[in-house]
Amino acid sequence: MRVIVSGALAAHPLGGGGNTWAFLQYVLGFQRLGCDIYYAEQIDAGRCIDDDWRPCTFADSANARYFHSVMTRFGLCERAALLESDGLQSVGLSLRQLEDVAGDADLFVNLSGRFHIDSVLGRPRRRMYVDLDPGYVQIWQAQYNVDMNLAGHDVHVTVGLNLGADSCPMPTCGIDWQTTLPPVVLPEWQTARPAGSAYTTVADWRGYSPVEWQGQWYGQKSEEFLRVLDLPQRSAATFEICLAIHPDEADRRRLLDHGWHLVEPREHIATPDSYRNYVQGSRGEFTVAKNGYVAGRTGWFSDRSACYLAAGRPVIIQDTAIGDHVPTGEGLLTFSDTATAAAALDRVESNYARHADAARAFAAQRLDSSRVLSRLIGLAGL
């Protein structure tokens, strides 16, 4: 079976190792299943930057260089294409070569709907849209009339396990969304390394602007972190955030003053390998979710948390209604406020080995890429 996966790993070339894995799990997972795998990506010329975040040409960009380095690292150079805008320039396969590949493809997996070139997208037998940002994608389309490229796909899938349920107020855009857990290529994450001392996570403080739906505003992670700002003062655990935040942001000082340790993404997670080392070197993950995921009860399940679980690192995450769809309480725990967050941390620390084993078991039983992607192939009707 020939599968083309499309994502946006080149969109974050500086400190974006975690973003890269969100797409690599699909590519390497389909490859592990024995599929004839290709990777394709588009980037607008206006998003090309140099190492100092300044605009530059596609050919000279950090985006193109990073894409090439990742494809080289995973042996995909002859099976990958980064196309600038409409495809006149490329890294790896040309637009014409990608069109030829697509003509014999069984499935095009369009992660976040980022790929738009009809001469490629229209050729495979089946097209699957995978929504990685549940709630926001649907609001941008329904409320703000932003074309999220939802049309032209045979099946729509989301990591919002609760999207479409009565308890989730988010729009569905008239689509019957199928749900999926994020895939993890288990051998890439399993480790015999001892756990580290700090509960960590990776985050972007602001992300994008708040959105409104039916009178309710939905924001970002920043406001949810501020709800548990004093957690380090109420728990014996150590907390570290690998945080993309402007150095002049006032909240940065507030986090530091309340006992949060902050580290720079470009120093700790610049590549897929350094990101994996960061996750494996943690004691576990403690994190909030974007406000829209929480207030919207989307059931969003994090691809980052999936990596921690596969590494045998317990995850304590803010409740997005995932507990309605997967078991929580051992290895994967949820919280709603500072008190329940501190209680979850105490529970993990009271029997850390048990929760670490439960994290590994959860990943093996529910997130294994072979299991998750085989199901997606079935949903695609193949």
Q: How confident is the model at residue 125 (pLDDT cuts 50, 70, 90)?
A: very high
**Mean pLDDT within 244-250:** 93
Tokens of 153: 């796909």
190 and 177 in a common domain: no
Has residue 275 got a pLDDT over 90? yes
Query: Which carries the bigger pLDDT value, residue 1 or residue 87?
Result: 1
Q: Which amino acid is at 41?
A: E
224 and 125 in a common domain: no
Q: Which domain holds residue 142?
A: 2-181+369-379
243 vs 234: CA distance, rounded Å: 22
228 and 104 in a common domain: no
**Mean pLDDT within 282-303:** 97
310-354, pLDDT tens digit by residue?
999 999 999 999 999 999 999 999 999 999 999 999 999 999 999
371 vs 364: CA distance, rounded Å: 9
What angle is formed at CA 162 by the lines to CA 364 and CA 320, rounded to 5 degrees? Answer: 80
Kindly report the backbone phi and psi dihedral angles of residue 82, in degrees, each rounded to the nearest multiple of 5, phi listed first: -110, 115
Has residue 87 got a pLDDT over 90? no
Has residue 174 got a pLDDT over 90? yes
191-211, pLDDT tens digit by residue?
999 999 999 999 999 888 999
Determine whether 381 is exposed, middle or buried from the number of CB atoms within 10 Å of its CB (0-12, 13-18, 19+): exposed
222 and 167 in a common domain: no
14 and 56 in a common domain: yes
279 and 360 in a common domain: yes
Has residue 228 got a pLDDT over 90? yes
337 and 209 in a common domain: yes
CA atoms within 13 A on the CB side of 149: 16
165 and 191 in a common domain: no
The per-residue pLDDT of the chain, averaged, comes to 97
Has residue 135 got a pLDDT over 90? yes
CATH number of the domain enclosing 240:
3.40.50.2000
Share of the chain above pLDDT 70, in %: 100
118 and 232 in a common domain: no
CB 133 within 8 A of CB 31: no
Distance between first and last Cα of the chain: 9
Has residue 161 got a pLDDT over 90? yes
34-84, pLDDT tens digit by residue?
999 999 999 999 999 999 999 999 999 999 999 999 999 999 999 999 999
168 and 198 in a common domain: no
253-272, pLDDT tens digit by residue?
999 999 999 999 999 999 99
Tokens of 109: 């997996």
Give how many domains the chain has, as a whole number.
2
Q: How confident is the model at residue 231 (pLDDT cuts 50, 70, 90)?
A: very high
CATH number of the domain enclosing 158:
3.40.50
Helix 17-32 with 272-280: angle, nearest 10 deg: 100
Res 86: pLDDT: 81
170 and 214 in a common domain: no
Tokens of 254: 């507030």
211 and 133 in a common domain: no
